[in-house]
Structure 1
Amino acid sequence: MDLSRRAALLGLSALPMFPLVARAEEILPDSPPRMRVIVDNDLAGDPDGLFALAHALRSPSADVRLIVGSHLHSPQDAEPDDGHQADKAAAKARELLDVMGITGRVPVVRGAEGALGRADRRDSAQAVAAIVAEAMRSDTKTPLFYTAGAGLTDLAAALRAEPRIAPRMTLVWIGGSEHAGVAPLAGGAQPEYNFTIDPAAAQYVFGESAIPIWQVPRNAYRQMLVSLAELRLLGQSGPVGAWLVAQLARTRRAVVPMGLNLGETYALGDSPLVTLTALQSAFEPDSASCRYHLAPTPRLDGQGAYLPRPDGRPLRVYDWIDTRLTFADMFAKLHA
């Protein structure tokens, strides 16, 4: 049966027929951006943030407007500069942009060096100014998402400096411990890593600001497992995949002296930042392939435990992330 006959039987006779040899880009061209995105991540730490950043930069629906390189942990007894982690994170972002051949296309700034309230903290004035400027734009109605894969230091500083930005964007945060009714880690309840980077900042964003929050807590982001077999194939797909896999290999080698056996999977826990933004549904755009529940936004205590607040603004708590969509899309785009 020829294609025109098949199309008629399927009710597709009014649709244009493409030659079988047409380029995929001609049949399914990219659509214009649907959202603006600010990326905030500790890119000098766990390389999952670099995978998510590369994925976002390859996603035409997401107009990445700003990249903020943020700090890792900053204990009070650390050296004063704490290794200039935010500087290193910003440098790593620029390195990735160079590998992807898009140097200079997206502004990159360093965030604060150290948590809120730390006496020797280097401020985040440059990051705050850039965040506020993007949020306060009046020349666009494209929704703005603030995607954070680590601590919330720079967002908290920006919200303190200009509270009017809160309703003008949505925070998507990879962080926070399990909510009530969800089994904790096998080792028992313990503070979640991204919260502990800057507890005061997370407490401020949840408890004192008005920004809408889509939270991907620990039990959800731990679902984002890929196998080493998949990653080896990605490493052979081209310069971007090879560079990303090299960052991951360096991290895995670093834990060998600690006596840790990581098995044959790795959690790319920051990847939901792309799933919940760039990969929203076609009609009635939303993160339709993922599951979440709504709850009043709680306050957080010093260990990250949730303190009920019945009058809190609505909080999306994601319980399940569509890993198939996330990683199939990521691998396809990074192979391109």
Structure 2
Amino acid sequence: MTWQALRPLSALASHAPQVPRMRVICDNDFSGDPDGLFQLAHHLLSPSVTIPFIVGSHIHVDDFLDGSRTQADNAAARALALIAAMGLSQAPEVLIGVNAVSDIGSSPSALTRRIIAEAERDDTDLPLVYAAGAGLTELAEALRAAPHIAGRMRLAWIGGPEWEETPLPVPSRGSWEYNFHIDIAATQFVFNDSGIEIWQVPRQTYRQVMVSMPELERALEGAGSLGTFLLDALSDVRHRWPDHMGETFILGDNPLVTLTALMSSFEPDTSSSAYVVRPTPMVTADGTYNPRPGARPMRIFNEIDTRLTLADMFAKFARHAA
């Protein structure tokens, strides 16, 4: 074969369809901090995963700014608005979680049954990951209703305070970690009483995905209507808390993409992000991790490959706009 006979790499890549490697349920509080919108857009543009449905979940009760208690409805509406801004001809269904923990009923909700049904599917061999960038209310309800599905899925969770050996940063909002406190009882159930495998990205790790505002604005300005939508979302939060934002923004939910869509080739794994494996601890109501020797193993990520995460997101946004 001559050198001239070789096709350019770009041609080879553009004609090589990506086959999904896993199913990912995206659960996030899209009506809160806009990092969840970046994560969802990034996931939607990642062909190595297929998304059965999206869950718009509630934020912490103290953040019901308008007193309406419709934050899950608002989250679903924001997810739908993002999908519209992206101009996607086909998109996953967006489902609405409970608006507050007090709204949980005595019998499984339609969303709970949908999560269970997805976990119980026998028409696909694709592994299922529940990717949560908020509280764990909906997942906990599904695991309570059908404990057996714990062995048919894995949780990738952005949340939880630092572990004991980690030097504590100065907390931005008191001493508690936000996603843990959205629904403390749900977090305790998932860790303490269920059998699901957990991949945790705790606070000191998800804060590593930091980008400067000039870099972020430059990338979004070249990302078409998607970029405009995300810039507007950023502008809203920065105007709401102008004295807290500084010159950077933390895309803390994007590790959910790193730990699903951006795994290594041939033998898929999170090989560029550092983690330790430990027995899943007992979690107390104040967020303390109590050791539990012999419990099911979990991964705790100490480092996220931020170069891979951000570069991939910016490239996918630009390609989508083009």
Q: TM-score, normalised by structure 2?
A: 0.92
1:288 aligns with 2:275: no
Corresponding residue of 2:124: 140
Output aligned runs, 1:153-232, within 5 Å: 153-186=137-170, 190-232=175-217
Task: Tell me the amino acid that sits aligned with residue 140 of structure 2.
Answer: A
Deviations for 1:30-51, whole angstroms, at most 9, x for unmatched residues?
3210000000000000000000
1:283 deviates by: 2.0
- Output the CA distance in 1 between the equivalents of 2:66 and 2:210: 36
The question of 1:310 aligning with 2:293 is answered yes
**What count of residue pairs does the alignment treat as equivalent?**
316
Task: For 1:207, give the aligned amino acid.
Answer: N
Residues 230-239 or 65-74, more deviating: 230-239
For the residue of structure 2 that corresponds to 1:243, the secondary structure is helix
Amino acid at match of 1:296: P
Equivalent residue, structure 2, for 1:263: 246
C-alpha spacing 1:187/1:332, structure 2 compared with 1 (3 Å): closer
Check whether the contact 1:86–1:111 (CA below 8 A) recurs between aligned residues: yes
1:96 to partner: Cα distance: 1.1
Render the CA deviation track for 1:267-319: whole Å, top value 9, x for unaligned.
00000000000000002100111000011101111111111111211010000
Correspondence for 1:246 among 199, 223, 232: 232
Partner of 2:3: 4
Match of 1:44 among 7, 25, 31: 31
Question: Do the aligned residues in 1 keep the contact of 2:69 with 2:100 (CA within 8 Å)?
Answer: no
In structure 2, relative to structure 1, the CA distance for the partners of 1:71 and 1:21 (3 Å cut) is closer
Q: Identity across aligned pairs (percent)?
A: 49
Q: Is the 8 A contact 1:228 1:264 kept in 2?
A: yes
SS in 2 for 1:226: strand
Given that 1:210 and 1:313 are in contact with CA atoms closer than 8 Å, whether structure 2 keeps it comes out as: yes
**Counterparts of 2:217 and 2:253, CA distance in 1:** 20
CA distance in 2, matches of 1:215, 1:275: 13
Q: Equivalent residue of 2:186, what SS?
A: helix
Q: Which runs of 4+ in 1 moved over 3 A?
A: 19-24, 77-82, 120-124
Cα displacement string for residues 229-286 of structure 1 (whole angstroms, at most 9, x for unaligned residues):
1211122111112211211111111102xxx242211000000000000000002100
Once residues 120 and 105 of structure 2 are traced to their aligned partners in structure 1, the CA distance between those partners, rounded to angstroms, is: 25
Q: 1:266 to 1:160 in 2, by over 3 A?
A: same
SS of equivalent to 1:213: strand
| Structure 1 residue 103 displacement after superposition | 5.6
Residue number among 291, 298, 315 corresponding to 1:332 in the alignment: 315
What is the one-letter code of the residue matched to 2:6? M
Alignment equivalent of 1:90, drawn from 70, 73, 76: 76
| Contact 2:190–2:196 (Cα < 8 Å) also in 1 | yes
Q: Distance in 2 between matches of 1:38 and 1:174?
A: 14
Moved more, 95-104 or 290-299: 95-104
State the Cα deviation string for residues 189-227 of structure 1 (Å, max 9, x = none).
822110010000000000000000000000100001011
CA distance in 1, matches of 2:64, 2:252: 27
CA spacing shift, 1:79–1:61, aligned 2, 3 Å = closer
Distance 2:31 2:9 in 1: 45
| Matching residue within 44, 53, 66 for 1:57 | 44
- Indicate yes or no: 2:6 matched with 1:17: yes
Deviation at 1:104, TM superposition (A): 5.6
Q: Which runs of 5+ in 1 are unaligned?
A: 6-15
Check whether the contact 2:151–2:196 (CA below 8 A) recurs between aligned residues: yes
Distance (whole Å) between structure 2 residues aligned to residue 110 and residue 21 of structure 1: 40
Higher radius of gyration, 1 or 2: 1
Amino acid of the residue matched to residue 310 of structure 1? P
Q: State the Cα distance separating 1:187 from its structure 2 match.
A: 5.0
Structure 2 unaligned blocks of 5 or more: none
- Say whether the 8 Å CA contact 1:226–1:266 is kept in structure 2: yes
Q: For the residues of structure 2 that align with 1:22 and 1:138, how far apart are their CA atoms? A: 36
Q: Per-residue deviation at 1:97? A: 1.2
Partner of 2:305: 322
Q: Secondary structure at the match of 1:94?
A: helix
